[in-house]
Structure 1
Amino acid sequence: MIVKHCLLVVAVTTLCLGSAQAQSVKQAIEAANAEFVKAYNSKDAAGVASKYADDAAAFPPDMARVDGRQNIQKLWQGAIDMGISELALTTLEVQECRDLAYESGTFSLKAPGKDSKLVDTAGKYVVVWKKGPDGGWKLYRDIWNFDPRM
């Protein structure tokens, strides 16, 4: 009976620690996303790009794959120059596996419409995050697409 009780305590403790670790990863990713959004909304493409790993790749909608932090910076600078603004990200799910984590979520932003007026736009994304040598998380693979306009 004592052995069963000890095993139950170990199992519950392990589950709780795993949950706490997952929660801390989610918190770290949400904090990184807040910095990403702050940089983007401040029109700081270099600050946005700094959130990506050196060997990152972005998969923007209706465009070719973009490899490397420097090219990703150019991608985001182009979006800023187009007038895309008021970016907001909402993390829905985070799962961690060793030095990688994936996140899925939604985004909203304002984009110039046909008459150059800003139009509310929304979509969803999936990001694979990579843990760096310093323990911080960087975007490694980033893909998103837009929801249909109503």
Structure 2
Amino acid sequence: MFGGYVSVFAGFRVSLVRLTWDLSEARYIGLRFLGEGLAMKAKYALCAVLLVALAAVGSARAEDLRAVMEADNARWLAAYNTNTPAAFPAMYTNDAVVLPPGAQPVNGQQAIGKFWEDRLKPGNRKDHTFEIVSIRQDGQYAYQEARWTLNIINKTGEPTKVSGNTVRIFEHQPDGAWLTKLHIFNLHQ
């Protein structure tokens, strides 16, 4: 007599044939346990393969996000370091907010563009940098924590290095772009 034995694991079906032998119950039990042992080994091997595959996909997504953040930083720094404030509004969402230290929030793309224009107008800010500390993604949002440095040139032409931390929250757009939704920065004292 033949019977079917089905095990369901992680959405995959593994079918084993269970034999029923009238001659020897021991033989049946031995074959049944041998089959279940192999099935368990196959399940564990399948789990290991799936975990490795998922880890590789997660790692690739993190590397892709880091590349996106590095590219956005390069674009932002190019606008800042070349004193091109007109480039800033396109890097922020329509409802973006910038929270500068010791000042009121700046709301919306156009106001943010004006904020950066006013900050850059004296022409004494040079060599702005970002160093990414961490990035994370949760669905359509990602954040970047970074350290920044900047040289402020005084009237005699001497630079004073200032630094701080920044957090930018990005929103993934329907066209695939990541735009800054919230930009917070401080100044080390």
TM-score range, shorter chain: over 0.9
Ranges in structure 1 where 5+ consecutive residues have no aligned partner = none
Alignment partner, residue 68 of structure 1:
108
| Cα root mean square deviation, aligned | 1.5
Does residue 1:120 correspond to 2:135, yes or no? no
Matched AA of 1:20: A
Structure 1 segments of 4+ aligned residues over 6 angstroms from their partners: none
C-alpha distance in 2, partners of 1:49/1:108? 22
Alignment of 1:99 with 2:175, yes or no, is no
Bigger drift between 40-49 and 30-39 goes to 40-49
Query: Which position in structure 1 is the counterpart of 2:72?
Result: 32
TM-score by length of 1: 0.92
- Using the TM superposition, name which of 75-84 and 123-132 deviates more: 75-84
Spell out, residue by residue over 1:87-129, the C-alpha distance to the aligned partner (whole angstroms, 9 max, x if none): 1111111101111001101111112558774311111111101
- The residue number in structure 1 matching 2:174 is 133
Say which SS state the counterpart of residue 175 (structure 2) adopts.
coil
How far did 1:85 drift?
2.4
In 2, Cα distance between the equivalents of 1:55 and 1:67? Answer: 7
Deviation string for 1:50-106 (max 9, x for gaps)?
Answer: 211111100000000000010000110111013222211111111011110011011
Paired AA for residue 52 in structure 1: Y
- Partner Cα separation in structure 1 for residue 154 and residue 84 of structure 2: 23
Tell me, what secondary structure is at the counterpart of 2:166? strand
Q: Tell which structure's C-alpha radius of gyration is larger.
A: 2
| Aligned-partner SS, 1:146 | coil
Q: Percent identity?
A: 25
- Where structure 2 has 5 or more consecutive residues not aligned to the other structure, the ranges are 1-40
| Matching residue of 2:26 | none
Structure-2 separation of matches of 1:3 and 1:39: 54
Does the 8 Å contact 2:126/2:153 carry over to 1? no
Aligned to 1:88: 129
The aligned residue for residue 18 of structure 1 is 58
Aligned residues: 148
1:145 and 1:114 map into 2 onto residues whose CA distance is: 24
1:143 alignment partner, SS class: strand
